[in-house]
């Protein structure tokens, strides 16, 4: 079955291709002729993921899936959430995002947070959503050099290291994205 992954992120594409195997003919956005920027204007992670999948389905009539992720911090009422990528402003800067997060959390004792990924799959016009969550806490200062985004300040529950102090494989095994992808794959292989 031909399936488009609505992303321009080569790392995500490689990861999901390896998990899917050759049962599926996975296409990039460019391979289906989509060169425009897909709007992400919804106010939830689930909404943005659906908007991207719906855009591809409605404009190209290709079965596809799209993912969207973000960090939700309890003491900040779920922020940065859907605004995770540009929390510190434009252009995107992981360092500014982390600094603003730590500033906004100064003096807060509740440091609970989670990464959430929602994948929307559209198959012949039917929509299906798959969610993955990684629970943890936000530290008071960054630790580690691996990963990206908020990884240096996010310590998953049950670990004494941040995502940025883990190898790619170690983070990959417990990440929000991996959990959501596993649900998608289990559904597709059914
Ligand atoms: P995206 O929807 O996967 O592009 O994620 C949106 C934003 O959420 C990213 O730009 C990061 O700031 C943040 N984010 C998502 N996943 C992760 C992660 O695994 N580690 C750190 N930050 C992440």
Q: Residue 63 belongs to a domain with what CATH number?
A: 3.90.950.10
Minimum CA distance residue for ligand 1 atom 23 = 149
First CA to last CA distance, the chain:
13
Ligand 1 centroid to residue 23 C-alpha, Å: 28
- Ligand 1 neighbourhood includes 80 CB (under 6 angstroms): no
- pTM, rounded to two decimals: 0.95
**Residue 84 in contact with ligand 1 by CB distance below 6 A:** yes
pLDDT of amino acid 36: 95
Q: Is 85 in the pocket of ligand 1 (CB under 6 A)?
A: yes
Residues 6 or more apart whose CB falls under 8 angstroms from that of 141 comprise 102, 153
Is residue 93 predicted with pLDDT exceeding 90? yes
Is the CB of residue 49 below 6 angstroms from any atom belonging to ligand 1? no
Residues in the chain: 190
Q: How far apart are CA 143 and CA 29, in angstroms?
A: 35
What is the span of the domain harbouring residue 30? 2-189
Residue 68 is a catalytic residue? yes
Mutational test site, ligand 1, from 9, 13, 50, 70, max ligand atoms within 8 Å of CB: 70
Residue of 22, 43, 68, 151 marked catalytic: 68
Pairing relationship of beta strands 112-123 and 2-5 according to DSSP bridges:
unpaired
Ligand 1 in reach of 149 Cβ (< 6 A): yes
| pLDDT tens sequence across 6-44 | 998 887 888 788 888 888 899 999 999 999 999 999 999
The number of domains in the chain is 1
Token reading at 27:
């296409």
- Give the whole-angstrom CA distance, residue 166 versus residue 185: 25
| pLDDT confidence tier of residue 127, bands split at 50, 70 and 90 | very high
Residue 58 structure tokens: 């409605």
pLDDT at 136: 98
Ligand 1 midpoint to CA 165 (Å): 16
Predicted confidence (pLDDT) per residue in 137-188, tens digit: 999 999 999 989 999 999 999 999 999 999 988 998 999 999 999 999 999 9
The arrangement of strands across the sheet holding 2-5 comes to 25-27, 2-5, 64-73, 112-123, 126-138, 154-156
Q: How far apart are CA 96 and CA 65, in angstroms?
A: 30
């Amino acid at each position: 079955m031909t399936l488009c992954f609505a992303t321009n992120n080569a790392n995500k594409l490689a990861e999901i291709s390896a998990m899917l195997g050759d049962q599926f003919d996975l296409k990039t956005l460019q391979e289906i002729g989509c060169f425009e920027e897909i709007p992400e204007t919804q106010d939830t992670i689930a909404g943005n993921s659906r908007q991207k999948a719906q855009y591809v389905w409605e404009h190209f009539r290709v079965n596809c899936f799209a993912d969207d992720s973000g960090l939700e911090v309890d003491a900040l009422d779920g922020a940065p959430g859907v605004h995770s990528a540009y929390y510190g402003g434009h252009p995107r800067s992981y360092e500014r995002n982390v600094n603003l997060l730590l500033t906004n959390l100064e003096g807060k004792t509740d440091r609970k947070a989670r990464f959430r990924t929602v994948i929307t799959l559209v198959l012949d016009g039917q929509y299906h959503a798959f969610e993955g969550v990684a629970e943890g806490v936000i530290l008071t200062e960054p630790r580690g050099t691996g990963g990206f985004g908020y990884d240096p300040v996010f310590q998953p529950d049950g670990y004494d290291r941040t995502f940025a102090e883990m190898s790619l494989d170690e983070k990959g095994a417990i990440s929000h994205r991996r959990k959501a992808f596993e649900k998608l794959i289990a559904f597709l292989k059914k």
